[in-house]
Amino acid sequence: MTHNPPSQPTTLHRPPSIVALAGGVGGAKLADGLAQILPPERLTIIVNTGDDFVHWGLNISPDLDTVCYTLAGLANPLTGWGRKDETWHVFAQMERLGAETWFRLGDKDLATHLERTRRLSNGESLSSITRDFCARWGIRHTILPMSDAPVRTIVETVEFGELPFQEYFVHQRCEPTVRGFRFEGIERARPASGVMEAIQQADALVICPSNPWVSIDPILRIISPLLAEGRPSVRVAVSPIIGGQAVKGPAAKMFRELGIEPSALAVARHYGRTLLTGFVLDESDSDLAADVQALGIHPAVTQTLMKTSDDRRQLAQDVLHLIEQFV
């Protein structure tokens, strides 16, 4: 094991090979930063599909689409979901016809779901469809769903009992109190084609700053056999919690409702030393670095809020610097 000082620049001529795990918005931003600095053959992004659902008869993969649209430069920067320069003609007509409108689908976005649904119903796998869509959108890095088999995240709530994820997340606006989660179908779901190979060949695993409970945990469950074998040996996570709060979404609320004080340290504990080699926390949480170290996980402190494209690239660079201390 070579230990380079953290300040040493990344050797860009031979960067490490990375597998990144991502959910939606937070994951997509770091995945985009990594894609800016790593050549296509050195980065595979494995995306959560527990949020997938059927709406208006269409197969929708919200996290997969967010990551793909972001890397293709097609994402709406204001909403964090959906397409930029979107129009809403179909949605307006659906509303007029009395269709359910709690989940907004724009015209351009609809094309993705129409074509995905058609191809799935013809028997093509989600990973094959995703590879083809990526090629057509000009994405050169590999993006894969965690599994080709359906996995459905169910949120156990105090007020409504069990809710399918999008019912909780979009329809109920994350308001119900969370008691726990269940990933329907996860026992039967194998990693999608390409996932195991990417992990076997990777130098390091990067857990993007996504929701640990509902975006990352399902992926970890799917790839757990390889992780148990110790592959890849270097694993680094970036905290999605900054200053005790989520940048966006219900992650901090979930920690609280499950009886855990939300903090970057709570995220490091959630993943634990068996999983993680290193943990990246925000400079505003630098006082927690010693506690992360005490868990047996190597901390790295940097600016982790990604507001601009440069922020994404800089954070990706900092993550690679941390990784290069261990590979």
Residue 25 binds ligand GDP (CB under 6 A): yes
Build a one-symbol-per-residue string for 79-118: x at contacts with ligand GDP by CB under 6 A, - elsewhere.
----------------------------------------
Residue 144 binds ligand GDP (CB under 6 A): no
Question: Based on CB atoms, which residue is closest to ligand GDP, 142 or 210?
Answer: 210
How far does CA 109 lie from the centroid of its chain?
A: 19
- Interacting residue with ligand GDP among 146, 154, 237, 246 (CB under 6 A): 246
- Reference 47, options 109, 157, 139, 179; nearest CA is 139
Among residue numbers 294 through 313, which ones bind ligand GDP (CB under 6 A)?
304-306
Are 126 and 49 in contact by the 8 Å Cβ rule? The answer is: yes
Residue 71 binds ligand GDP (CB under 6 A): no
Site stretch for ligand GDP (CB under 6 A), options 23-31, 33-41, 171-179, 319-327: 23-31
CA-based max dimension of the chain = 64
Q: What are phi and psi for residue 140, nearest 5 degrees? A: -95, -20
Kindly tell me the sign of the dihedral angle through the C-alpha atoms of 112, 115, 119, 121. Answer: positive
Task: Report the distance separating Cα 110 and Cα 224, nearest Å.
Answer: 34
Residue 242 binds ligand GDP (CB under 6 A): yes
- For residue 218, what are its two tokens? 């399902």
- Interacting residue with ligand GDP among 27, 50, 145, 191 (CB under 6 A): 27
Residue 29 binds ligand GDP (CB under 6 A): yes
- For residue 174, what are its two tokens? 């994350």
211: left (phi over 0), alpha (psi -120 to 50) or beta: beta
Question: Based on CB atoms, which residue is closest to ligand GDP, 27 or 176?
Answer: 27
Kindly tell me the sign of the dihedral angle through the C-alpha atoms of 119, 122, 127, 132. Answer: negative
Question: Based on CB atoms, which residue is closest to ligand GDP, 99 or 182?
Answer: 182
- For residue 200, what are its two tokens? 């076997």
CB of 96 to ligand GDP, least distance (A): 29
- Interacting residue with ligand GDP among 15, 26, 194, 299 (CB under 6 A): 26
The full 3-state SS of 153-200, as one line of letters, equals EEEEECCCEEEEHHHHHHHCCCCCCEEEEEEECCCCCCECCCHHHHHH
- Interacting residue with ligand GDP among 15, 16, 23, 191 (CB under 6 A): 23
Task: Report the distance separating Cα 133 and Cα 124, nearest Å.
Answer: 13
Task: Report the distance separating Cα 290 and Cα 296, nearest Å.
Answer: 10
Question: Based on CB atoms, which residue is closest to ligand GDP, 52 or 63?
Answer: 63
Build a one-symbol-per-residue string for 255-294: x at contacts with ligand GDP by CB under 6 A, - elsewhere.
----------------------------------------
CB of 163 to ligand GDP, least distance (A): 16
- For residue 13, what are its two tokens? 């001529």
Are 289 and 281 in contact by the 8 Å Cβ rule? The answer is: yes
Q: What are phi and psi for residue 88, nearest 5 degrees? A: -130, 35
Site stretch for ligand GDP (CB under 6 A), options 26-34, 104-112, 119-127, 148-156: 26-34
Q: Which residue is nearest to ligand GDP (CB)?
A: 26
Residue 209 binds ligand GDP (CB under 6 A): yes
CB of 30 to ligand GDP, least distance (A): 8
Question: Based on CB atoms, which residue is closest to ligand GDP, 134 or 315?
Answer: 315
Among residue numbers 31 through 70, which ones bind ligand GDP (CB under 6 A)?
63
Q: Which residues bind ligand GDP (CB under 6 A)?
A: 23-27, 29, 63, 209-211, 215, 238-240, 242, 246-249, 251, 304-306
